Amino acid sequence: MVFSNLVFLFIFLPLVLVTYYLVRNELRNYLLLGFSLVFYAWGEPKYVVVMIFSIILNYIFGLLVHSFRNHKSLNKIILGAAILTNLLVLGYYKYINFLINNINELLSTNIHMDPVVLPIGISFFTFQAMSYVIDVYRQPGEVQKNPFDLALYVALFPQLIAGPIVRYNEIAAQIKKRFVDIEKFSEGIRIFILGLSKKVLIANQVGFVADAIFNKPTSEMSVLLAWIGIIAYSLQIYFDFSGYSDMAIGLGKMFGFDFSKNFNYPYISKSIGEFWRRWHISLSTWFRDYVYIPLGGSRVSKFKSYRNLFIVWGLTGLWHGASWTFIAWGLYYGIIIALERAWLGGFLEKLWTPIRHAYVILIFLIGWVFFRADNFSYSFDFIKTMFGVNQQPLYDKLSIYYLYDYGAVILLAMIISTPIMPFIVRKVNKLVSNSFLQFSNQLIVSGILLFLLIVNIVHMVNSTFNPFIYFRF
């Protein structure tokens, strides 16, 4: 089930909210858990067993780590077994097809295996479950002895299948006790509607352009068409994923949970290091805290610190998908961040700010080509076309068509991907001083949100099923 779906908006969500606020406080966690399992099982019921297995597995490992806390050597073995078991489950579903295909190609073998279907969101809930056991081992995370509360942490439907990746110690207290008032509930609705608008009104529209262009052979593209395609995809993936994260955060607030922000206007960054501190924040900090720092981080020799950097970015690429293009995409950013640490960062700081922004934009646009394309051949040909190396025409009729029909949407998306709108809102709020003007301002904002919701519903009625990009991770 997806958030940008009429069944979710008009049946599932109202039913959850009404029953949640009708039952006694001590029953609410069980109710949320039940609905979360239904939410996950909606598309492929059999894969809910995988998630339940993950919950039981990590519940047991958490208890073992807690019980043998004073036996350091044994406790390390238990933690290692927990991490290995989680990675084996994730590896089987996510990478077994990739592994067999590569073995067959490298060794000229003919190993046959029916394709293993990837359970939706397995990377997200596996990383959450692993972080729980690791935090219990490190002691800041209190062990959860109630299996249903741990299950709620892993399976909570707002952030279950596409994040943000929530640490257990961040919401452990909220699972036990949380409070919602009308102000917090209203904020949740506002954030949810804005996130829904990002997905339906922007991501889906520019996504149509990106998909159409990337489905064309590069030999049939003009230079301008290639640039329109990658810009459209860059906007699609940002608004699709940040829109989902906003909806998850908004839904969480409706039930009393506070999830951390997952995006902070990454496209305004002045370096690639800054870009990744603003993009998919929960994943970046997860790799920092559970991989990079345990390896020694930057506190070791230069060689080892760069080694740690490449390990993290290789794993980041692999986390996103079982493909050499994803691994190359991760290492591509690892190389650039290593260069920024070595000397490029200092050089960039001396440059005019617009040039620094242009540098970041160029780097992530090239990076998204590898992320979006299915193979290296198409990726390199696409990039060559972007820079006119393939001797393609500068523009063609199709590129003019997309500019004419979708240029306004693309331009609006560019503007909204910057903090310009929040800046204007803050200025307006400062000007509104007396109570009457504040009330009028609130009415206007409510009217705008209602209008956006209606427009979203109209689009959803007239559109086909359009899942979130990060569901496949």
CA 149, 63, 150 angle in degrees (round to 5)?
Answer: 15
DSSP summary character for residue 293: T
- Please name which of 445, 402, 451, 406 lies closest in space to residue 424, comparing C-alpha atoms: 445
112, 320, 357, 459: which one is catalytic?
320
CA 150, 156, 160, 163 dihedral sign is negative
DSSP per-residue codes, 30-97: HHHHHHHHHHHHTT-GGGHHHHHHHHHHHHHHHHHHHHTTT-HHHHHHHHHHHHHHHHHHHHHHHHHH
Token pair of 293 as six digits: 């720092």
Longest dimension (CA), the chain: 77
Report the run of H or E that residue 166 belongs to, with start and end.
Answer: none
| Residue 66 annotated to the active site | no
Q: Which of 139, 134, 94 is nearest to 115 (CA)?
A: 94
What are the structure tokens assigned to 53, written together? 């297995």
Residue 142 dihedral angles phi and psi, to the nearest 5°:
-75, 135
* CA 378 to centroid of chain Cα atoms: 25
Q: Which residue from 66, 247, 252, 250 is spatially nearest to 174, judged by alpha carbons? A: 252
Q: Which two tokens stand for residue 38?
A: 């239904």
Q: Which residue has the tokens 């043998």?
A: 68
Question: Measured between alpha carbons, how far is 62 from 145 in angstroms, rounded to an integer?
Answer: 9
Which amino acid, residue 403?
L
Q: 213 and 124 in contact (C-beta within 8 Å)? A: no
CB 312 within 8 A of CB 287: yes
Instruction: Determine how many CB atoms are found less than 10 A away from the CB of residue 105.
Output: 9
Active site residues: 320
